[in-house]
Amino acid sequence: MKVLKFGGSSVAQPDRIRGIVEILKDYYAAGDHFTVVFSAFGGVTDNLIEMSELAARGDDRYGQLFQEFADRHQLAIGELLTNEKLQQETAHQMRRSHEVLKNLLYGIFLVREASPRTMDYVLSFGERSSSYIISQVLQQAGVPAEFLDARRIIKTDKTFGNAKVAFEKTYAKIKEHYREHPKVQVVTGFIASAKGGLTTTLGRGGSDYTASLLAAGLKAQAIEIWTDVSGVLTADPRRVEKAFTIPKMTYAEAMEMSHFGAKVIYPPTLMPALQNRIPLYIKNTFQPDFPGTKVSEESDPDGEAVRGISSINNVALCTVSGTGMFGVPGIAGRIFGSLAAANINVILITQGSSEHAISFAVQPSDAERAREAVEAAFAFEIARGVVNAVKVERDLSVVAIIGENMRYQPGIAGRLFRALGKNGINAVAIAQGSSELNVSVVISREDETKALNALHETFFLSDYKTLHLFIVGVGLIGGTLLKQIDQQNDYLRERRGMELKVVGLANSKKMIFAPSGIDLSRWKESLVQSSIPIDLAVFVGRMRDLNLSNSIFVDNTADSKIASFYETILDESISISTPNKIATSSGYLQYQRLKNIADKRGVQFRYETNVGAGLPVISTLRDLIDSGDRITKIEGVLSGSLSYIFNTLDGILPFSDIVREAREKGFTEPDPRIDLSGKDVARKILILARETGVPLNAEDVHVNGFLPEEAMAAASVEDFFNVIEDQAAYFNELYESASREGKVLRMIATLDSDQATVGVQAVGPDNPFYTLSGSDNMIVFTTDRYRVRPLVVRGPGAGAEVTAAGVFAEIIQIGSSLS
């Protein structure tokens, strides 16, 4: 025997009832023995409450509501019953029954009162109507069904509204009834009766309770709770998009999930089933073949440690502290005694190891009373100043990870706190359930969704992790990066368990935001159509307010204004990846401060593409230092554009044309004067010096430029081109004089102990930089370990694809380190 239960949302509309009838027909055809419990049609219980309240207030609009109630049921009969005889019989029966309800409401209207006892009777019409109609529909479908008014079998005391069940009597009645009624019993949920045939109801989760009582009385082999979701999910799917069905869990885990707000089942009502070890299945009426969740006592020691993540959205945290609490026995007893006496439900308790403070979370609506109760209990100590006034903190949430296996696996709490920390979420208080079934953390309410997502990604690895990107600057590098992300996202999701969502995007004019991800195939149009002008302070504010897990900021501009926001961004616990060299090559103190803030916040500030574009220059340097090597000298050709220009000069092509070409190929800075003046190279050697631990500033780098003074003084980029066009002979001679000696021109940067220099040299075939071609960079590290034959990094050091790819790789690395 199986007990099936269908809730209100499953029976809200006639076509959904048809779906249920199909499910039940299959059970019957398969020869299963079953009985089925129904709630009232969706919304009906609330309607009944509303009409009684109106009637009790003497408001005759109750009549209108009653009529809608009656019509709704007649309409369902008309739609669901095509067999004329059955239809007429059912309609007639319902009219007679609803006539009683109408009179009852009129009685309430006359006496202006609806006592709990009367209310239970009124409410019973909901379940009685739905179950009766469905029993008739089942008969029409060929299932030998019989309506059963549960008042005949479930016996309770007279606590109207939340009656206590008389178990032995109820079980005996159930057995007796089912022995004599072999047909499929279609049972009203929620309602019961007390001595004298008075109608009672079973309180919250009442229809689940009916099913559970039937299962216990019948020693059923299973209970199936049919609802509109696919079982119990790992987290609330409205907050965690990637939540998925938990295939199996224990009763204890289900209880814990429900304590922390999961709404699918209300386990206290399932006690009878649980005591009889009857497994429970939660199934979806929309997807009848999906197995859903099985709740039973079987635990699975090899299963994942964390079964689900849940949260309570709004709590207040009360803290009792003071020197008078240290080592004094009975304090906790007095606190919680006073709360119990005030009938206040405590959601969570935590005690600092110092014993100086005890905190507890309560519903916000109870906080004031809780404070008063505890302060009254400690009035004497508070007056003497040994206990402080109770501190109440509001707008907090509790997030809990739940699972029986957590107790067998070390390191769970560490992972929890790391995930929260990396997302900048502060734990206000921490508690571990004594059962070790949960670890719960009190956090700020605005961080709740972020926390749920970060924890979900941490503990449910089977899923993929989402990185939320905020990108500013969509020129050459930014635009190429977006293209690369769009092309590679499927691969990353499938092969690396990672998905990149661009949720904020800005060019120099406008910005757009889309928390669910900007469509990368049409980002240009989206930006054009946007009505929000670019304002980086607003952009940063939106990043903060969206408060998404795994947020990364990417700056693809060359703008110092953007760089000036890095400090704020890192301070918001958002990591940064950028090819922009401004922040890393401006004041040394600022560079240091950014690194410190990133460290303090547990996030990353990364800029590999600042030197050598996509080539692994900074990471190589860092690896050398981290592994204990000592850098004695760095030499390099660090400019992709100059490399290209010097490699293309042939004494024929005008210098200015070659510079234009380098610019068109995407090698130069947005302002090519930065490259040609040696400034870009100076920035790069400065960054390498700092990474090596030499605290230089820009003025410490000695630059020996090759541009004529007039070019250096050009007021605009166009001016500059005009000047170098005029000076073609000068540049030709530069080339020729080197060429005559069999040499080539190279802009070489050197860091020798704490001396940094940059200058153009003519080098011959014996020089390692001689053979460079195209936009090649080459960086030579001489170290204690690489002393005789230095370590060399070489390859194209500028250009859209390689630079964007460097940023892309860095984003993925940051992503791997998060949560």
Ligand X SMILES: N[C@@H](CC=O)C(=O)O
Residue length of the chain:
819
Which listed residue (236, 404, 680, 691) binds ligand X by CB under 6 A?
680
Q: Which residues of 125-144 are buried (b: 16+ CB within 10 A; e: fewer)?
A: bbbbbbbbbbbbbbbbbebe
Residue closer to Na ion, measured from CB, 437 or 615: 615
Catalytic residue among 5, 595, 684, 743: 684
Pairwise CA distance, residues 781 & 13, whole Å? 74
Residue closer to ligand X, measured from CB, 120 or 675: 675
Residue closer to ligand X, measured from CB, 527 or 582: 582
Q: Is 143 helix (H, G, I), strand (E, B) or coil?
A: coil
Of residues 780-799, those binding ligand X (CB under 6 A): 797-798
613 binds ligand X, rule: CB under 6 A:
yes
Judge contact between 145 and 59, C-beta under 8 A: no
Query: 10 Å Cβ neighbour count for 428?
Result: 18
Q: Give which of 242, 265, 240, 247 is closest to 255, Cα–Cα.
A: 265
Which burial class, exposed, middle or buried, applies to 162 when counting CB atoms under 10 A from its CB (0-12, 13-18, 19+)?
Answer: middle
Beta strands 357-362; 438-444: pairing state: unpaired
Told to judge if 195 belongs to the known catalytic residues of this protein, a careful annotator would answer no
Of residues 445-474, those binding ligand NAI (CB under 6 A): 472-474
Pairwise CA distance, residues 819 & 466, whole Å? 10
What is the DSSP annotation of 628-666? T--EEEEEEE--HHHHHHHHH--SSS-HHHHHHHHHHTT
668 binds ligand X, rule: CB under 6 A:
yes
Pairwise CA distance, residues 549 & 547, whole Å? 7
Q: Give which of 408, 419, 438 is closest to 307, Cα–Cα.
A: 438
Strand order in the sheet with 465-472: 532-533, 510-513, 498-506, 465-472, 551-555, 575-577, 605-606
Determine the number of helices (DSSP H) and then strands (DSSP E) in the chain: 30, 29
Strand order in the sheet with 701-704: 701-704, 755-763, 744-752, 631-637, 776-783, 791-796
Q: How far is the CB of 778 from ligand NAI (least distance, A)?
A: 16
Residue closer to Na ion, measured from CB, 235 or 617: 617
Query: What, of Na ion, ligand NAI, ligand X, none, does residue 639 touch, CB below 5 to 8 Å by kind?
Result: ligand X
Helix H or strand E encompassing 423: none
796 binds Na ion, rule: CB under 5 A:
no
Q: Give which of 396, 367, 273, 805 is closest to 577, Cα–Cα.
A: 805
| Region of 591-599, 665-673, 707-715, 761-769 interacting with ligand X (CB under 6 A) | 665-673
Angle at 337 between CA 333 and CA 343, to 5 degrees: 150
Pairwise CA distance, residues 124 & 60, whole Å? 22
561 binds ligand NAI, rule: CB under 6 A:
yes
Query: 10 Å Cβ neighbour count for 276?
Result: 14
Q: How far is the CB of 756 from ligand X (least distance, A)?
A: 17
Query: What, of Na ion, ligand X, ligand NAI, none, does residue 799 touch, CB below 5 to 8 Å by kind?
Result: ligand NAI
508 binds ligand NAI, rule: CB under 6 A:
yes
| Beta pairing partners, 468 | 501, 551
Q: How far is the CB of 637 from ligand X (least distance, A)?
A: 9
Pairwise CA distance, residues 234 & 246, whole Å? 6
Sign of CA dihedral 698, 703, 706, 707: positive
638 binds ligand NAI, rule: CB under 6 A:
no
Q: How many residues bind ligand NAI (CB under 6 A)?
A: 30
Which listed residue (44, 114, 382, 558) binds ligand NAI by CB under 6 A?
558
Query: What, of Na ion, ligand X, ligand NAI, none, does residue 477 touch, CB below 5 to 8 Å by kind?
Result: ligand NAI
| Region of 102-110, 160-168, 653-661, 662-670 interacting with ligand X (CB under 6 A) | 662-670
Query: What, of ligand NAI, Na ion, ligand X, none, does residue 556 touch, CB below 5 to 8 Å by kind?
Result: ligand NAI
Residue closer to ligand NAI, measured from CB, 387 or 563: 563
Query: 10 Å Cβ neighbour count for 238?
Result: 8
Print the binding letters for residues 617-646 with Na ion: x by CB under 5 A, - otherwise.
Answer: x-----------------------------
646 binds ligand X, rule: CB under 6 A:
no
Q: How many residues bind Na ion (CB under 5 A)?
A: 4
639 binds ligand X, rule: CB under 6 A:
yes
Query: What, of ligand X, ligand NAI, Na ion, none, does residue 700 touch, CB below 5 to 8 Å by kind?
Result: none
Nearest-10 Cα torsion for 632, 634, 635, 637: 170
Q: How far is the CB of 413 from ligand X (least distance, A)?
A: 44
641 binds ligand X, rule: CB under 6 A:
yes
324 binds ligand NAI, rule: CB under 6 A:
no
Which listed residue (50, 53, 393, 559) binds ligand NAI by CB under 6 A?
559
Q: How many residues bind ligand X (CB under 6 A)?
A: 11
507 binds ligand NAI, rule: CB under 6 A:
yes
Of residues 600-619, those binding Na ion (CB under 5 A): 608, 612, 615, 617
Q: Return the DSSP state at 419.
A: H
Pairwise CA distance, residues 369 & 59, whole Å? 35
578 binds ligand X, rule: CB under 6 A:
no
Query: What, of Na ion, ligand X, ligand NAI, none, does residue 818 touch, CB below 5 to 8 Å by kind?
Result: none
Binding site for ligand NAI (CB under 6 A): 472-478, 506-508, 534, 556-559, 561-562, 579-581, 609, 613, 640, 666-667, 669-670, 798-799, 803
> Rule CB under 6 A: which residues touch ligand X?
613, 639-641, 667-669, 675, 680, 797-798
Binding-site ranges for Na ion (CB under 5 A): 608, 612, 615, 617
Catalytic residue set: 684
